[in-house]
Each structure stands twice: as C-alpha cells, then as structure tokens.
Amino acid sequence: MSTAPVAEVDLGGLGFGRGAHLLVQRALAGLPPGGRLAVSGRDPALRVHLAVWCRRRGHRVEWPDRGDRSDLVAVVVRGSADDERWFGAERAGPALPSALSSRPPARWGLGARGALLEAGGPEARFDLDDRDLVWADIAPHLYTQAAARQWDPQTAVPWDDSFALPADVEAAVVQVMTYLVENEQAALVVPARFVGRIHPHFREVVQLLAVQMADEARHMEVFSRRALLRGAELGTSSAGGRQSLFTLVAESDFALASFLLSVLGEGSFVDLLSFLHEFAPDPVTRRICWLAMQDERRHVVFGMAHLEHQAQLDPLLRDRLRAAIHRRHDALVDTAGLNADVFDSLVVLAAGGWRPDDVSAGYDRVQALQHAMDQGRQRRLVRLGFLPDEAAALSALHTRNFM
C-alpha cells in the first residue's frame, strides 16, 4: 500500500484557534479510514495544535521529511472514529409530513423530524405518540395561517379612541371582560398540559397548539386591558364558573380535552364573541372581540379536524365523547353554571338602553345567542357522527358556563 498522501490541504495562515479544523475536517471527509492527507500552513502553532486535534478525533499524525516543501506540516492518517460515531444512525422519519410514522419511537425524542440521529441518547417519553390520536392533515396549513395572522395587541386595537360609556354600561363591559379573561386562562392551560406530551414527530400540531396558546395569551391581555381601560377594578368571578373551567383543565385525555374545549367550549365562544362584536358599546370592545373570534374559529377547526379523523378510524371514540359530556355534566350538576352577573351584563349590552322594551329585547337576544350556541354544538356533534336526536340531547348537557 502506498504511503503517499492522496489529498492535500493548505491552511494558509489559518490556525486552529480560528477554525482551521474545518478545512482539515472537510479534506478528511473525502478519504476512507487510513487515507492520508498532507497538511500545509504557516500558523506558528499549527504543528502543536494539529497534533492535539487529531489525537482527540482519533486520527494519526506523521511528521514526514519536508524535503523541498517548507510549508508542509504533517500528514494526517484518517481514523475511523468519525465513521463509528454514525454507525447505527437512523433518520427520524421523513422531513415533510407526507408519510408520518404511525407511532414514532421514543428514541427519536427531540431530534428534528427527518434528521440523521446518532444512535444512543435518552428514550424521551412523549406518551401522545399515536398519529391517529394526535394528527390532522390540516395542521400544517392551520399553523401557517395562524402564524400569519398573529396580531399585535398594542397596534391592532384603537386603545386611544375617545369614548365614554354610562357607568352601568361600562360596568357590564368590565364584568364580561372579567369572565372572558378567566375563560381564556383555561383555554391556555388546557393545550399547555398536552404540548409537552405530544411526540415532536408531529411538530406541526405542537406548533399549532403553541400558537393557540399565544393567541390565548393575547386574548387575556386585551380583555384585561379593556376591563381596566376606564377603571381600576375587575368584575366578579363565580364559584360555579370556576368549577366549570376546572373540569376542563382536569381532563387528562387529549381527545376528550380537545373535544370539550375546542369543539364544545370554543365553538360556543365563537358565538359569544360574535354576539359581543355586534352589541359592543365601544370601538375597543368591538375590535378585541372580533380579533379573538378569528383566532377561536381556527382553534375549533383544528379540534374538529383531528376528532373527525379519529372518529372515522375508531368507532368507539363516540362512546368516550358521550361519556365525557355526561361525566362533566354530573360534576357540574350541583353548581350554578353561568355567573348571573355575566348573564345580566350580556342582557344590558344587548339591550342598549334601560327602557323595559330595551331590556326585553336584550333578554331575547341573549336567549337567541344561547340557542345559536346550542345549534352550533349540535351541528358539530353531527359532523362527528352523532345522530341528530342524540346530538340535541348531548348539547343540552353542555355546561351553562358556555366554555
């Protein structure tokens, strides 16, 4: 076997303190183990540092007679450690979400989907690792749309518009805002509990839920800010309302939580926000309800998409969804449901005045809102495969707290 170098690299004046290893590494990459690389260069410490670097990387160094080549420093004989590091390496599935693994292994862990993974490393426990349970084909599209439609609470809302409401109308707005903030808090916490459990292989779902959480964070901000725009105190929070939200947060099954939150809760919330957009007494309230409604619609679309997909594959899913509604209803049967202050505030806003006819009209409008919420829930339940009669019965069991 010839001992003549088969490759050469000239480092010029570049030393190992400034990245010379990159050139040596690049030249060695083209050689098989045992391949020889002549290294030349002018950095005064090159002889010392090249030997150190090679020793660490498992390459051998020879110091040949320089002959007439005054800049020749050494010949590096490529070792095998670089190759051995990648022995048994595997791709973490496809880079694009077109052919996802139905159950990605725990060893892929936090490796980027499609990356070449060095063997070894921790077995990361992401227990939501079933494609059918987590994935929806619409997730990448919804994520792109969600990321593009993020809005800045500071500039998207006309905070400085001059308006003045009668004190009792302002109080009604503050009460509704107080209620919205506590609901948005729950809507942030619920996906937060699942994001860390979803296998990163399904990263678009994780991204989508992360943006969903960012949406809720903005909603919390703008509703709080509106509540305090003209005063210093928030409204009331009922024990029953908090109990209702707590049953949402306590649900540990991803499908059931997303059913209760997105399909039933946020679905009803879209109707509520639309109602508030219509009857808002001031431009700030009108704007923030419209902005939040756009976001919530997206949340409902994803919740529906992944449950529809799952319902097609798993005929028993509907039994579990039905049981979840009953369970939550039973847990809340002894509670008051919607905070009476919130209900009254909605009537005040929809009434737009204090004459008996105004109040009566406002009352009718809130009843129409509740009817619309019920109809919406029934439509979504039917899309998930429930028969119309049962959908009506199940919708009637939904929490009176809306979310």
Partner 1 sequence: MPTPSVLMGAVAYDPKVVTIWEGFRAWLRGRGLDFDFVLYSHYERQVEDLVAGRIDAAWNSPLAWLRAERLAAANGTTVRALTMRDTDQDLTSIVVVRADSSVRQIADLAGRVVAVGAVDSPQATLIPLGHLAAAGVKADVRRFDVGVGLHGDHIGGERDAARALVAGEVDAACMIDANHLAFVQEGTLPPEGTRIVAQTAPYDHCNMTVRAPESAGVQLFGTLLLGMSYADPQVRPLLDLEGLTAWKDGRATGYDALAGAVDASGFYSPDGRVTATDYRP
**Would you give the DSSP letter of residue 263?**
I
Q: At what angle do helices 239-249 and 317-332 cross, to 10 degrees?
A: 150
Q: Which stretch binds partner 1 (CB under 8 A): 80-88, 182-190, 227-235, 335-343?
A: 80-88
Cα(29)–Cα(31) distance, rounded to whole angstroms?
6
If one asks whether residue 80 binds partner 1 (CB under 8 A), the answer comes out as: yes
Nearest approach in angstroms of CB 194 to partner 1 is 31
In the list 8, 12, 18, 110, the residue contacting partner 1 (rule: CB under 8 A) is: 18
Cα(86)–Cα(50) distance, rounded to whole angstroms?
23
> 315: which residues sit within 8 A by CB, 6+ positions away?
none
If one asks whether residue 12 binds partner 1 (CB under 8 A), the answer comes out as: no
Q: Which is nearer to partner 1, 51 or 189 (CB)?
A: 51
Q: Is 57 helix (H, G, I), strand (E, B) or coil?
A: helix
**Would you give the DSSP letter of residue 90?**
E
In the range 34-63, which residues lie near partner 1 by CB under 8 A? 44-45, 48-49, 51-53, 55-58
Please check whether residue 352 is in contact with residue 358, taking contact to mean a CB–CB distance below 8 angstroms. yes
Q: Which is nearer to partner 1, 13 or 166 (CB)?
A: 13
316: nearest Cα among 236, 253, 232: 253
In the list 88, 166, 353, 388, the residue contacting partner 1 (rule: CB under 8 A) is: 88
If one asks whether residue 228 binds partner 1 (CB under 8 A), the answer comes out as: no
Nearest approach in angstroms of CB 338 to partner 1 is 56
Q: Which is nearer to partner 1, 122 or 196 (CB)?
A: 122
Please check whether residue 100 is in contact with residue 131, taking contact to mean a CB–CB distance below 8 angstroms. yes
Nearest approach in angstroms of CB 25 to partner 1 is 15
Q: Which amino acid does the sequence have at 290?
A: W
In the list 33, 35, 64, 79, the residue contacting partner 1 (rule: CB under 8 A) is: 79
Q: Which is nearer to partner 1, 45 or 147 (CB)?
A: 45
Nearest approach in angstroms of CB 20 to partner 1 is 10
If one asks whether residue 103 binds partner 1 (CB under 8 A), the answer comes out as: no
Please check whether residue 146 is in contact with residue 211, taking contact to mean a CB–CB distance below 8 angstroms. yes
> 353: which residues sit within 8 A by CB, 6+ positions away?
none
Q: Which is nearer to partner 1, 26 or 56 (CB)?
A: 56
If one asks whether residue 16 binds partner 1 (CB under 8 A), the answer comes out as: yes
Six-digit token string for 34 = 């045992």
Q: Which is nearer to partner 1, 34 or 88 (CB)?
A: 88
Nearest approach in angstroms of CB 88 to partner 1 is 6
Cα–chain-centroid distance for residue 337?
30
In the range 115-144, which residues lie near partner 1 by CB under 8 A? 118-121
Nearest approach in angstroms of CB 396 to partner 1 is 57
Cα(37)–Cα(249) distance, rounded to whole angstroms?
62
Looking from the CA of 53 toward its CB, the CA atoms found within 13 Å total 22
Name 91's bridge partners. Answer: 116
Q: Which is nearer to partner 1, 49 or 297 (CB)?
A: 49
Q: Which is nearer to partner 1, 15 or 200 (CB)?
A: 15
- Bridging pattern class, strands 7-10 and 60-62: unpaired
Binding site for partner 1 (CB under 8 A): 15-18, 44-45, 48-49, 51-53, 55-58, 79-81, 84-85, 87-88, 118-121
